[in-house]
Copies of this chain bind each other. A is one copy, B any other.
Amino acid sequence: MSGGEVPIPVQLWLAFEARDWEGAAALLHDDFVAEWPVSNERFVGRDNFIGMNRAYPGNWHITIERVVTQGDVVVTQVRVDLGAASSYALSFFDLKDGLIVKAVEWWPESYDPPDWRIAWAEPMRL
């Protein structure tokens, strides 16, 4: 990747935010697969992945918070705001032929910390 280009996965998030489904699909390789390990889901092919994202309920908005690139691998952290709620995705994208061939996306849901480690921790947010 040369210096001035916008990484393809960043373009994908921007296309999703713009509800530009054709533009998003054009960034995905013919062999595209997405894996969501936390919920044990796999989306095979761009039609399934774009179809699911297009159907995702609510007026969500995506903010790209972090991008880390090494060769044909791009990691992103995005925040998705839906009303007053924020969720986050940590995504590992593999590129091939200048397109996204694989996306492994981790969508954690918040939980309370266990009591045993209270002694060493403080809350990030009150």
Contacts and interface: CB of A to CB of B under 8 A. Distances in A.
10 contacts: A37-B124, A38-B110, A39-B110, A39-B113, A42-B122, A51-B119, A52-B121, A68-B75, A69-B70, A88-B106
A17 interface: no
**How many copies of this chain?**
2
A40 B88 CA distance: 13
Contacts of A106: 88, 90, 106, 108
B41 A123 contact: yes
A107 interface: yes
A66 B37 CA distance: 15
Interface string A68-93: 11100101010000000000101010
B121 A42 contact: yes
A104 to B, nearest CB: 8
A21 interface: no
Contacts of A42: 121-124
Interface string A113-126: 10011011111110
